[in-house]
Structure 1
Amino acid sequence: MAFTTCTQQQCYEATVRPLVADCCAGYNVTAFAYGQTASGKTHTVFGSGGGEERGIAARVLEDLFDYVAREERDGGLAAVRVTLTFIEIYREEDLPLREDEGGGMLVAGALCEEVTCAEDAWQLLADGIARRATGSTFMNAVSSRSHAIATLAVERVMVSPEGRGNGLPVVTRSKFHLVDLAGTERADRTGATGMRFKESIKINQGLFTLGKVIRALSTPVGNRKSANLKRHVPYRESKLTRLLQDSLGGNSRTVMVACISPADADLQETVDTLKYATRARTIRNAPVINKGEVMQPPAMPSAIADRYRQALCARLYLFTHCFMDCLRYAT
């Protein structure tokens, strides 16, 4: 639990920082902020300036590229490719979803940019944040009117240690989702009317479905009328939960940051958020390392060339997948 005196760095250290190493090891990871409107979710995830006000996202980028640089210096990393996608879910409109070859979800046509350093990645992310839909309500002058999902896809090709396996490079493919949910709203408190009221309905619908998913996953099967009934989790009732399906009960290590207000007037919303977080804590995901071996390269007569062959094979692998990603996102 973090109080109002907690710094952005302290919050990051206590919640999300361990996930960076997990992502680089090949695990899918997710960090998302949930809470009522004006409780500090966007400030927590994306920050409100530079320096000490940097949010979780900027710190993840810095630590991830530092981690990759250390691996390259140590000689264990043959090649690496990091891409960034930023998705806004606004009223769940104009968001064509499709499954990828691994069963995960992606947004057809979403721009997937390759990034090589934390600074370039943050600039792209900041551009996306600046274009995000916001509006003024009684409770928040700059209220997020949409959910935002920033996804870092990390492909690493590791050099096989000498004498182990068949000498082929090992590839890991993982994703890091950073999610800033729009806040739960009550129209009688926000004063939302017209378009703002319609936005709040869509926001609450998506969050309501997210709550149904969390309740379904956190309810022990033994408490149901029949233990033989297959658990039904309503992922498909919302595009938000469809995109976060792996993060909730699937192949991911997930952290939920529950943001609450210290104000007496927000007591009911605070209680609701804490109940939400309590249920989420009981969900058990099944994360696995996403790895495989690179295709066998042609045999070469000289053992001295093994390391160079691995590096070339690794780069050919990343080039092929980059091309396939372009085709997949374009359709």
Structure 2
Amino acid sequence: VLPMGSSDMASQPQSDSVKVAVNVRPLITPELVLGCTDCVTVTPGEPQVQIGPHVFTYDHVYGSTGSSSSLIFEQCVYPLVDSLFCGYNTTVLAYGQTGSGKTYTMGTNYSGESNCGGIIPQVMETIFKKADAMKGDTEFLIRVSFIEIFKEEVFDLLDDPGSVAKAAAPARVPIQIRETANGSITLAGVTEAEVKSKEEMALHLARGSLSRATGSTNMNSQSSRSHAIFTISIEQKRTSSSASEKSTSNEYDILSSKFHLVDLAGSERAKRTGADGLRLKEGIHINRGLLALGNVISALGDEKKRKEGAFVPYRDSKLTRLLQDSLGGNSKTVMIACISPADSNAEETINTLKYANRARNIQNKAVINRDPVTAEMQKLRSQLEQLQSELLFSRSGSAALEELQLLQQKVSLLELKNSELYCELKEREMSCEQLAQRAIATQLEKDQLMLKLESARNGKSWDDIENAGSEQVC
């Protein structure tokens, strides 16, 4: 019997703050041509960023004089892949100004090249490596979806394989957001393609990337005009388990988890981007969604408001509704704030760093996502163990002590009786052996008498009879 409260601890929500990393990209050619200088300083050996009088501390800092950007996946994202296979929802969120390197960091513009960098290609490779290593005792169902939020409407980037310039096609039908009975957010009719290899998944990513809305601005010739969310869903069914696992978990446990990889459109100022007409309207929608996201982060990051149960404005935009679990909900989340070190972008960089600093205070409550039937069985098993523990504790005292002493006496009597029976068995075995030897001796004497009688009848001597008997024996 397990002690009360120790069963099925893994299914209890785990409170975990949002991890925040800052990625400082190098100065790019247009900035160098304009004579921009580096205004961002990274404290050597510390995850600390300084810009002017402002100093910010994060979980990780990459680029500039900090750690290499190539370590982002290993240090920030790989632990999320491990959590994904344990049944937790996970999220990587890239935020920053237009042209700060969000899409490059995430790898959302994946074109199928094997040497292409970015977080998403590395996530795909790692997922299938881990799945292959677990094939012996686990069955996997892996699916992907790819959506974008363009002008405050949600569109499926995997809906029509034949369409490439989907961003400009007015005939696209937006997807409706639905909320289930348990409060989770779903997308009605979104394409969830089943994939069996990294190559299949990469094909869907590349196809969806081509369909994503992009446009040229003064700050970025290939500026993302939409928020993109690439989601990897995994269902795993354990087909066998060791003896130790069977005692604590269901042999056929089914876990389902999702990995959201979010590439946000960049925050921008119309004056800096030179946007007008259609581009200006797109920028307004982008900034509106990011403002709503900022309000959600502010509401969740304020400890005083959180304790008072302050209202969180998730419904102010489609983006915040879709990220409801990733920020303050059932997910383990990493936010990567991408910034430009150019002094011309100093104001936007400071805003991004403030944004990311508030996100560090958000507390998520991740829980393992089990199949409802399995979860109910685990719940009943936990209740049974608790009742057994309570029953054991209720029997403590004199009554339990007397019962224990009585049982000990019974055990002693049984051991004594067992010892007596064992001795009696040995004696009977010895008696049986003696009787068998006596029967053999009697039979020999009888045979000799019969031979003597026969010799007397035939007139032969005893020696001749004895020799004849020996020959017969041989």
Which TM-score tier does this pair reach, normalised by the shorter chain? Answer: 0.7 to 0.9
Aligned to 2:175: 95
Q: Distance in 1 between matches of 2:64 and 2:223?
A: 20
Shift of residue 18, structure 1, vs aligned partner: 1.1
Q: Does 1:12 align with 2:73?
A: yes
Q: Is the Cα–Cα contact under 8 Å of residues 108 and 263 in structure 2 kept in the other structure? A: no
Aligned to 1:325: none
Aligned to 2:258: 175
Higher alpha-carbon deviation: 156-165 or 185-194: 156-165
Q: Does 1:123 align with 2:203?
A: yes
Q: Distance in 2 between matches of 1:167 and 1:210?
A: 40
Aligned to 1:278: 357
Q: Does 1:67 align with 2:148?
A: no
Shift of residue 208, structure 1, vs aligned partner: 0.2
State the AA in 2 paired with 1:188: K
Higher alpha-carbon deviation: 50-59 or 147-156: 50-59
Q: Distance in 2 between matches of 1:160 and 1:293?
A: 20
- TM-score w.r.t. the length of structure 1 is 0.82
Q: When the two structures are aligned, how many residues end up with a matched partner?
A: 288
Aligned to 2:247: 164
Aligned to 2:319: 240
Shift of residue 99, structure 1, vs aligned partner: 2.0
- Of residues 146, 153, 157 in structure 1, which corresponds to 2:233? 153
Q: Distance in 1 between matches of 2:286 and 2:353?
A: 19
Shift of residue 292, structure 1, vs aligned partner: 4.0
Shift of residue 100, structure 1, vs aligned partner: 3.7
| 3-state DSSP of counterpart to 2:333 | strand
Change (3 A) 1:102 1:168: farther
Which runs of no fewer than 5 residues in structure 2 stay unpaired?
A: 1-60, 154-173, 375-474
| 3-state DSSP of counterpart to 2:63 | coil
Q: Distance in 2 between matches of 1:36 and 1:149?
A: 18
Aligned to 2:222: 142
State the AA in 2 paired with 1:36: Q
Shift of residue 230, structure 1, vs aligned partner: 2.9
For 1:300-319, what aligned pairs fall within 5 Å after superposition?
A: none
Change (3 A) 1:281 1:97: same
- Of residues 96, 101, 104 in structure 2, which corresponds to 1:35? 96
Change (3 A) 1:56 1:209: same
Change (3 A) 1:8 1:52: farther
State the AA in 1 paired with 2:83: D
| 3-state DSSP of counterpart to 1:276 | helix
Shift of residue 101, structure 1, vs aligned partner: 5.5
| 3-state DSSP of counterpart to 2:217 | coil
Bigger Rg, which one: 2
State the AA in 1 paired with 2:202: W
Shift of residue 244, structure 1, vs aligned partner: 0.5
Aligned to 1:213: 296
Change (3 A) 1:241 1:23: same
Change (3 A) 1:170 1:205: same
Shift of residue 11, structure 1, vs aligned partner: 2.1
- TM-score w.r.t. the length of structure 2 is 0.58
Change (3 A) 1:143 1:106: same
Shift of residue 10, structure 1, vs aligned partner: 1.9
For 1:181-330, what aligned pairs fall within 5 Å after superposition?
A: 181-221=264-304, 229-292=308-371
Shift of residue 4, structure 1, vs aligned partner: 4.9
Alignment deviations for residues 170-203 of structure 1 (CA, whole Å, 9 cap, x no partner): 1111000000000000001000000000000000
Aligned to 1:299: none
Q: Is the Cα–Cα contact under 8 Å of residues 95 and 335 in structure 2 kept in the other structure? A: yes
Q: Does 1:105 align with 2:185?
A: yes
Change (3 A) 1:62 1:247: same
Change (3 A) 1:100 1:211: same
Q: Is the Cα–Cα contact under 8 Å of residues 231 and 258 in structure 2 kept in the other structure? A: yes
Q: Is the Cα–Cα contact under 8 Å of residues 230 and 261 in structure 2 kept in the other structure? A: yes
Aligned to 2:146: 86
| 3-state DSSP of counterpart to 1:2 | strand
Q: Distance in 2 between matches of 1:134 and 1:33?
A: 17
Q: Does 1:26 align with 2:105?
A: no
Shift of residue 151, structure 1, vs aligned partner: 0.6
Change (3 A) 1:211 1:70: same
Q: Is the Cα–Cα contact under 8 Å of residues 169 and 293 in structure 1 kept in the other structure? A: no
Identity in percent = 48
Aligned to 1:313: none
Q: Is the Cα–Cα contact under 8 Å of residues 46 and 55 in structure 1 kept in the other structure? A: yes
Instruction: Note the aligned Cα RMSD (angstroms).
Output: 2.0
Q: Distance in 1 between matches of 2:269 and 2:303?
A: 31
State the AA in 2 paired with 1:233: V
Shift of residue 92, structure 1, vs aligned partner: 1.3
